[in-house]
Chains A and B, each alone.
Chain A
């Protein structure tokens, strides 16, 4: 009650809320004194009409069965102030105490209803309250009723009726079923007797059939033995033929290996002084083609009319045109194309990205760093294309460095100029010699050793380029250019 009186006093005093606000503005904190009342209290007088409505509400029998918390909550929702609610509670004599900060009081009968209410929405409180209390009162009356004789009579009648019903059912349906079942059993016995007579004749027939089957099996065994013998003889002949063929194959293999080595060396020397792009593409492609060639010999001997291995330039042309060189597997051709296009991607987009970082025109979208680099890059390229279309700013993004969208087929570069003419001629000579005599000469061996250093260098370099490209693409794009410079220096 003590909490109620100060607000009421202040309600009487603060007839001019404006004056209070001025005082509040002056003081930092409102002090609980009669001179500077808190603004954050209800300063209105009590509305008698509201209090009377609340009293009527609280006096309702259904409301009396509900927890006090919900009665207060309902009145608060209706807009009554604390004072009005307290006054109403005071006026209704047997309602629970006024201000509560503790738990909620519950009646024993309506525990279930309160649980249901706690789970329901507060808007449903008001309709829920009368409904739940109504249900509970009816159940209460049921439980209170006494055991009358009428209940006993009803029970007896129900039992008698059920007994009569079962008797009728048994008579009509179950007994006929029993009779028919018995008849069936009798009929089956008669049939079984007949079956027993037929059995001995079946046994005799089965024995005869078994004998004839055994004879047939013996004949089959003899025939299969003859077959085996003949097969072994054939196998022996076959093995002899195969060994002869193997010898021939080995001779041919050695011949073709020597031939190719000569041709390969010739091509590699001519590529030493080329641009990076071409070296990358060629190095890789050459590596792939070389591997192609080394694996193809066993394949080439199967078809009788295999073509002579083509030169490097012829094969690249074929690839560009979209044809498959006869000695390559489909996936290797794809590798050649993809490797060259990927290289174009990396370098073109790497240079583009450098200019992009300086432009603060685009955010990282949703900043998802889990996106693999190539998706990010393609997105940027696509977006740049869009921006080019929409804004017409193609020139500002360093279009000079940005290459046009990569072509699907790799255009082979011009054949590089021959740096060392003497070496080229030297190589040509052993090739001519090899064509004359198919056995390898000391000359060719010596020249091949000179060339082999460069030959080994190029595949190694291409391998390192593969690694480098993989590493550079995942790191900062500017490093691609740095590594390209290093490779240029290596040469």
Chain B
């Protein structure tokens, strides 16, 4: 299975929604503490001697914490940069004209970026300055700023079935559900006693959301009855950094954690852990499941490696 070595520490990996063999990797130098960043756009090739070809690589002055593919243009990317800027890249343009736009509104590091899969014209960025901002591609400034959290917002994710609804996970231990047509958040509840690092909506059930936290657990909630979780999944040894629901299997979700493992869970089953991959030798901080290829998943970590493998196989296998 192919492995790509990035020069900097990996932070996030995302499959392209247009090409099944393309993915983007966001990396930062020195574990994202200080230094530059680089955005890689990779293409998987069937040639086993050269499994990855780098289509493009963009350098930034500060680390890149997250990347998101555009749903409207197959060559557009949104990068969340640690210096508070949001940068737009176009792989179809020559590297000298990239980034095509640099949006500077956040006052602190931008931690996540997510593109609206239904409306296809807008994207969200969440930042450590406690705000979530909504942008569109054509405007140079944000459309809206959502400021209700009292600590860093680690993740803001669109609902895959409702075009105006999104959820945000924050370090103030709460999860907020927003509707962009509303002036303020529509729901808020504390899924964990500690910082909530990530959240993701279920692709098949529009009201089910998974959250993961510093308390090493992953909880799956139904937002209609948010007092008690549907499922609690323990098993990680350290904080869980990212959670993603599978686009192909209703009950499957994948998580990556600071215990250097990537785990796949089935939350409807009593013994939820389906598989565990410990191929990383450092914090595993980014994971994604491909929408176009069933079972294909990618992960990256601070060990500067990007693995792409099929669920059920060994990521380090040849």
Q: Which residues of A contact B (CB under 8 A)?
A: 3, 7, 17, 20-21, 24, 28-30, 32, 38-44, 69-70, 72-73, 76-79, 81-82, 99-102, 122-123, 357, 360-368
Contact = CB atoms under 8 A, between A and B. Distances in A.
Contacts, number: 111
A299 to B, nearest CB: 51
Contacts of A100: 148
Contacts of A73: 150-151, 172, 174
B51 A363 contact: yes
Interface of B: 1-5, 48-52, 147-148, 150-151, 159, 161-165, 171-174, 177, 179, 181-190, 194-195, 206-207, 223-227, 305, 318
Contacts of B227: 44, 79
A368 B49 CA distance: 12
B160 to A, nearest CB: 12
A81 B225 CA distance: 12
B184 A364 contact: no
B190 A79 contact: yes
Contacts of B151: 73, 122
Contact of B318 (A3, A44, A362): A362
A77 B318 contact: no
A103 to B, nearest CB: 9
Task: Tell me the dominant secondary structure on chain A's binding face.
Answer: loop
Nearest to A102: B147
Contact of A122 (B171, B185, B186): B171
Given A29-B164, A40-B177, 16 more contacts: A20-B224, A24-B206, A30-B162, A38-B165, A40-B223, A42-B187, A69-B150, A72-B150, A73-B174, A76-B174, A99-B184, A101-B183, A363-B1, A364-B50, A366-B305, A367-B5
11 contacts: A28-B162, A39-B207, A40-B179, A40-B223, A70-B150, A79-B189, A79-B227, A81-B189, A362-B48, A362-B318, A366-B3
A76 B223 CA distance: 16
Could you tell me the dominant secondary structure of chain B's interface residues? loop
A21 B207 CA distance: 9
Contacts of B52: 367
Contact of B190 (A17, A76, A362, A367): A76
A66 B20 CA distance: 52
A30 B223 CA distance: 15
Among A21, A40, A77, the most chain B Cβ lie within 10 Å of the Cβ of A40
Contact of A17 (B51, B182, B188, B225): B225
Contact of B48 (A40, A360, A366): A360
Contacts of B184: 3, 82, 99, 101
Nearest to A367: B5
Given A30-B162, A38-B186, A364 B150 contact: no
Nearest to A360: B48
Contact of A361 (B50, B187, B190, B318): B318
A322 to B, nearest CB: 40
Nearest to B161: A28
B49 A357 contact: yes
Nearest to A357: B49
A24 B223 CA distance: 14
Contacts of B226: 42
A364 B207 contact: no
B224 A77 contact: no
A367 B47 CA distance: 13
Contact of A38 (B161, B179, B305, B318): B179
A122 B172 contact: yes
A165 B12 CA distance: 71
B298 to A, nearest CB: 15
**8 smallest A-B Cβ distances: which pairs?**
A360-B48, A73-B150, A366-B5, A41-B186, A17-B224, A40-B177, A122-B172, A76-B174
B190 A365 contact: no
